[in-house]
Amino acid sequence: MTYALPVAAMSIAAYWKDGEGAWQLTKSGLITMSTAVAIKYTVKARRPNGDPYSMPSGHAAISFVSAEYLRKRYGWQYGVPAYVAASFVSYTRVRANEHYVRDIAVGGGIAFLSTYWMTTPYKGWAIQPEWSAQRRGIRLSREF
């Protein structure tokens, strides 16, 4: 399921012939996984089963990247099933004694923030934070 979510998200982008969206998903995934791996090897938290490198959960991170991408880019009709699947992946990681809930929360939080920041809606209204050297605020836009 962990790998099915990003494949499904990329397939939906291909179905809509949405190259910009595919690039946004790729950037979000790269940012999320780079951050997760950096934290994982810096913190070196122990897993419930005693193995190292527990936090954050990479499985949760990549699953929630896909879910938030589908929700923000294409709407809740795509996002809800993806969030259910990502939550299931996360549940199984805790149930299998591979992660603590905190590991899931950190992985999901990194994924949500990077994807929310990198993804724009495919069509319709968008509310996006804007942060640059010259401006700070919220941008409201609409695509037709």
Query: What confidence tens digit (pLDDT) does each residue in 72-122 have?
Result: 999 888 999 999 999 999 999 999 999 999 999 999 999 999 999 999 888
First and final CA of the chain: distance in angstroms?
34
Q: How high is the pLDDT of residue 11?
A: 95
For 58, the token pair is 């990479």
Q: Which residue shows structure tokens 């992946």?
A: 89
Q: Which residue shows structure tokens 């942060």?
A: 131
For the segment 5-34, the average pLDDT, to the nearest whole number, is 95
Q: How high is the pLDDT of residue 97?
A: 92
Q: How high is the pLDDT of residue 2?
A: 73
Q: Which residue shows structure tokens 């950190």?
A: 106
For the segment 10-29, the average pLDDT, to the nearest whole number, is 94
* pLDDT, tens digit, 9 for 90 and up, residues 20-51: 999 999 999 999 999 999 999 999 899 999 88
136-143 and 124-131 as β-strands: parallel, antiparallel, unpaired?
antiparallel
**For residue 34, how many other CB atoms are within 10 A of its CB?**
12
